[in-house]
Amino acid sequence: MPLIAAKDSGNGRSPRRPVWRRATPPSPPRPGPAPAREPAVRRPPAEPVGIVQSALYQDGVRVSSPASLAETYRALRAQPSGMAWIGLARPTERELHSLAEEFDLHPLAVEDAMEAHQRPKLERYGDTLFVVLRAARYLDAPEEVDFAELHVFVGPDFVITVRHGAAPDLSAVRRRMEETPELLKLGPEAVLYAILDAVVDGYAPVVAGVQNDIDEIETEVFRGDPEVSRRIYELSREMVEFQRATRPLVGMLHGLMAGFSKYGTDEELQRYLRDVADHVTHISERVDGFRQALTEILTVNATLVTQQQNAEMRALAEAGFEQNEEIKKISSWAAILFAPTLVGTIYGMNFDHMPELHWAFGYPFAVLLMAVVCTSLYLVFKRRDWL
């Protein structure tokens, strides 16, 4: 028995019983394009919305490329042994509603695919697998990691991908699978493994970019760049998101490998999945190492900043101490010079009736008094290390 339960055989396609209905009415059709106008700034084209590509395969070979969901349904009914691969990007409620009715998708899985913002997980609803993946890509210009969400429905004869974001490039996965029909003819589970491999391989450039950023941050830390703390924090936050994208994949892939015997998975697919699991484990370990390295760098940066602040405070304290010493010296000499000024002022008062006015020793006494006062002040200030 394969990983995905095989569909009923027969001349005609077994009817599907719709099991999903939403209380809200379907969303209105998209409005037509707005009149063209010259933009102020040239911007990159927006990502596609709705059906990106739909194809029907027979024995690993594409036999038709329907242009709509209705045509895909009719072509799949006409080919009971075929497999439909439908790629969607940010679909509307109406499109997901149609897919749910045709392929009996579980309402909880459809709701998750519609709302997005899910963690990576693997759920089984009857004979349908629902897989949530978080793809990532490294943007060189802003030096940041961009995350996107991918939902995959895998049934007995269909694969539906719902993409929320620019990554990954599933068209490359489709081309690679079409170039190896011997692998594509193994069925929907082979497509699932190819998608998993593409998502995991997309992590490698991110790891290389983050490693380069960490090397630059280490240089900036020891250079004393004041903006490095902000960059460390932003990169640490991205690594938290990266961990949330990679860690659950390890358990998901090991869960699939545990079902090899139960579902009789093809030997080639088993080797394929083990290789993907090895890559995921390696990436997860690298991401854990990045978080630890950023934590240590942040600690070193805080230590260096503290040391720099202490050095600045010490320099300020030394400058204040030197300033105080100069002020004490100036104040001491001012007091010393003030004493003779005071004595001279008293004895320079020109009045007749004053003590010692006509004293013969008045002048020597005034000079001696100035000298005694100045010497006494000098000795006092010297003893207190003011001079």
pLDDT of residue 39: 41
pLDDT of residue 37: 38
Pairing verdict, β 50-58 and 128-139: unpaired
Q: Which of 49, 44, 20, 21 is nearest to 162 (CA)?
A: 49
pLDDT tens, the chain, 387 aa long: 344 444 443 334 444 433 333 333 344 444 444 444 334 333 344 444 567 788 899 888 999 888 888 888 988 888 888 899 999 888 888 888 889 988 989 988 888 888 777 888 888 888 888 999 998 888 888 888 888 889 999 988 899 999 887 767 888 889 999 998 888 888 888 898 889 989 999 899 999 999 998 888 888 888 877 778 888 888 888 898 888 888 888 888 887 777 666 656 667 777 888 888 888 888 888 988 988 888 888 888 888 877 777 888 888 888 888 888 778 788 888 877 777 777 677 666 555 544 566 666 766 777 787 788 888 888 887 887 777
Element (H, E) at 94: helix 93-103
Handedness of CA 121, 108, 73, 76 (dihedral sign): positive
Q: What angle do CA 88, 32, 56 make, to 5 degrees?
A: 30
Sheet-wide strand order for 128-139: 61-64, 50-58, 83-89, 158-164, 144-154, 128-139, 121-125
Give the alpha-carbon dihedral of 322, 323, 329, 331, to 10 degrees: -160
Q: How far apart are CA 188 and CA 83, in angstroms?
A: 7
Q: How far apart are CA 187 and CA 172, in angstroms?
A: 18
pLDDT of residue 264: 60
Q: How far apart are CA 252 and CA 120, in angstroms?
A: 8
pLDDT of residue 357: 62
